[in-house]
Structure 1
């Protein structure tokens, strides 16, 4: 049997990624809802539909600084206004003079009424006098105090915001599953909502394992590897919206690892480990967490998935509370790809967010690439919108294992299990990454 045939046979024994993800995500449930003060709700996902208890605006109000008047008075249809010669250069050759009978600010609360030929000086946000149906902007007048001359006539309703014009009472403001953004917080507050029921942000604990690991702030030496994974995964979990906690480095000590995970179940909704998922002599996480005890299977099942990079993934629960655990490979590139395809959807599901997967697009491939047969590959790439519509995608050098490529990428090129070569000019799937630059 040839080497290629051996590789294909080995790939056929792997679990398809879609099947594996489905089996894992079906075991997870969104966290129980919480009633939170509005100031704490930002960044969470609504657990219930939210309906406006009050209208917005709550009352008829001025939208601009100016003079609240009756339109028939300034349009010439009423009997009250007096006409005076217009200043030089004023269109129409005449202005309208109205008596200013008072001032209204945003804090005014006493109801007032307009009489023919009169107006009120109003600030934006002030309640409108009864019978007012137009606000003349200040710059269209001589800004008089006892009487005002109006040089331009706005249309009826200009500068006026009616009660409930934007959001009548009873309006569905947001459905369950909606992300609470700053703008949505403003909408809730404006309609009189002080609390909302949300799914809490998942508490995610990240643990790096391995005797070879040392903390950041130094260079790697033979027999030592700087722990990049726990820092990167903590940042990745925070980017999804989780409350992320980096525990640090745990040595390959069975009792130490068991004790650490047991302790973390008290403050975690999800635990992510990195390292030790393979079958090599130093892969202790797989040995420890999958070990059968008392005839029972271990708490975590490790599966060889048709994924490139990083085929070995683990999932299960630990502790009396059965806190979910995701076990990712130790290679930094494989760990970050594993987070994208497994841990990130798990966090989204716990948070009640939809969809749980990143958005994807179809893109025009700019360079021919090869891929290992039988594995679904996720490769760092740069995605750009074409001027005439659609997208192009440029694979980044170094393949999926390069940290520099992942740092530069704004997308992940996805090559399916049956793809061994994707030619330049073909159309491929690309996951869009969050990149704020």
Structure 2
């Protein structure tokens, strides 16, 4: 159960935004680590420091197609006076026992192939005649056009310095050096590094499984026909997408009608695949606020400490909120208001940090910045409420988008920031400094 039980709270008591968030984060614990195959670990958080077991690259190798040579043999080479070298063999990528290059000799070498013994540098094929014994060739494939008996020699038209076009052993990272630190989110580059050093599995905290459920008999699935009094369900789509954006594996459940028993049954059925439950709608003081009716209970003896507490927050939008734990595993549940803007703002402030806490991250919140208000008129905010308005942020300025209404979905779609007006501020003049939460 949340720590809310220790805080006196009457029906009209207001919680601050910070108190509600602190209660959530003091309850949510990181998921237990598991061992996963590399691709299954994408998006997960590493829980161990990974050390490089073998240098990258593990041997000196060529950075291009060409000829492996000794530097002295091509010193002074030019178009007019090329160096003629005996070709002693080919070195392909993956070659286990490459030929040795002696004085006056060269070996054809492919990109990624090990530098053969005796060779000191690689001459790009474009600097040679490609082994044709005549003018400069356009590429390695020209070898196939050589007349019989002409493949044993190559003409080099430029000198090279020692180690030219050679990737040195350990030039990327050396054995024993750190590869990745615990706490790293594993994206494609990190998975590439793990694969490159030979790791087939990795120990991580799994991505949290978040179930999103909206309530309301008026809600209709997009694509269906609207009857009088009905609206399309947008909240569940917005919050499911937001949960995925935060790093979770998110499941959207179709809207549940205003029936407490149906809602409770649906939630109980979803617990098997949930590390976190999120509901939207039905948390206010109306006659049909079924989320409160379905979840405001202490639970039976097997679920002692379970239940969701509903509270009022000193914020706008998003005043009605619910938080607690349900089911035998005490799965955290956050109940958000039903207005689209209210639910999305609530997600950013409370659900996103909870998801990232489950992942085991320490950086839980969206970045914030200070910005000058770019507006034609002053912003008004109710006294004693922390207000979050939609805005567009650029170059140290933020412009309000839409009004304060919690139903303005179109304005939300154009916003990339939330303008924060503190509880003790009732007006912000144009040009005044405000804090913004950056959503992009």
Q: TM-score range by the shorter chain?
A: 0.7 to 0.9
Conservation of the 8 A alpha-carbon contact between 1:261 and 1:318:
no
In structure 1, the gaps of 5 or more residues are 1-11, 77-82, 88-93
In structure 2, the gaps of 5 or more residues are 1-11, 132-150
Q: CA deviation at 1:20?
A: 1.5
Partner Cα distance (1:181, 1:232) in 2: 24
Q: 1:123-162 to 2 correspondence within 5 Å?
A: 123-144=110-131, 145-162=151-168
Aligned partner (choices 79, 89, 92) of residue 102 of structure 1: 89
Say whether 1:284 aligns with 2:290.
Answer: yes
State the partner residue of 1:40: 40
State the partner residue of 2:350: 342
Q: CA deviation at 1:272?
A: 0.5
Partner Cα distance (1:330, 1:188) in 2: 43
Partner Cα distance (2:259, 2:305) in 1: 20
Q: CA deviation at 1:301?
A: 1.2
Q: 1:273-422 to 2 correspondence within 5 Å?
A: 273-291=279-297, 299-367=307-375, 368-384=378-394, 386=395, 391-399=396-404, 401=406, 402-422=408-428
Q: Deviations over 1:252-280 (max 9, x none)?
A: 32222222222211111111111111122
Aligned partner (choices 178, 181, 191) of residue 172 of structure 1: 178
Q: CA deviation at 1:147?
A: 2.3
Partner Cα distance (1:397, 1:275) in 2: 22
Partner Cα distance (2:299, 2:277) in 1: 22
Deviates more, 1:212-221 or 1:27-36: 212-221
Q: Deviations over 1:43-93 (max 9, x none)?
A: 2111222222222111111111111122233336xxxxxx6x733xxxxxx
State the partner residue of 1:117: 104
Q: CA deviation at 1:381?
A: 1.4
Partner Cα distance (1:363, 1:140) in 2: 57
CA RMSD of superposed structures (Å)? 2.3
Q: CA deviation at 1:297?
A: 7.5
Say whether 1:63 aligns with 2:50.
Answer: no
State the partner residue of 2:211: 205
Q: TM-score, normalised by structure 2?
A: 0.86
Partner Cα distance (2:256, 2:57) in 1: 56
Give the paired residue count: 406
Q: CA deviation at 1:425?
A: 2.2
User: Runs of 4+ in structure 1 displaced over 3 angstroms?
Assistant: 218-223, 291-298
Change (3 A) 1:219 1:394: farther
Conservation of the 8 A alpha-carbon contact between 2:299 and 2:305:
yes
Partner Cα distance (1:154, 1:420) in 2: 72
Conservation of the 8 A alpha-carbon contact between 2:54 and 2:197:
yes
Other structure's SS at 1:201 match: coil
Conservation of the 8 A alpha-carbon contact between 1:289 and 1:298:
no
Change (3 A) 1:293 1:130: closer
Q: Deviations over 1:401-426 (max 9, x none)?
A: 21111111122222222222222223
Q: CA deviation at 1:34?
A: 1.4
Change (3 A) 1:203 1:114: same
Conservation of the 8 A alpha-carbon contact between 1:219 and 1:226:
no
Q: CA deviation at 1:185?
A: 1.0
Q: TM-score, normalised by structure 1?
A: 0.87
Deviates more, 1:332-341 or 1:369-378: 369-378
Q: CA deviation at 1:331?
A: 0.6
State the partner residue of 1:6: none
Change (3 A) 1:97 1:425: farther
Partner Cα distance (2:75, 2:300) in 1: 92
Partner Cα distance (1:113, 1:318) in 2: 71
Partner Cα distance (1:420, 1:15) in 2: 19
Q: CA deviation at 1:113?
A: 2.2
Other structure's SS at 2:272 match: coil
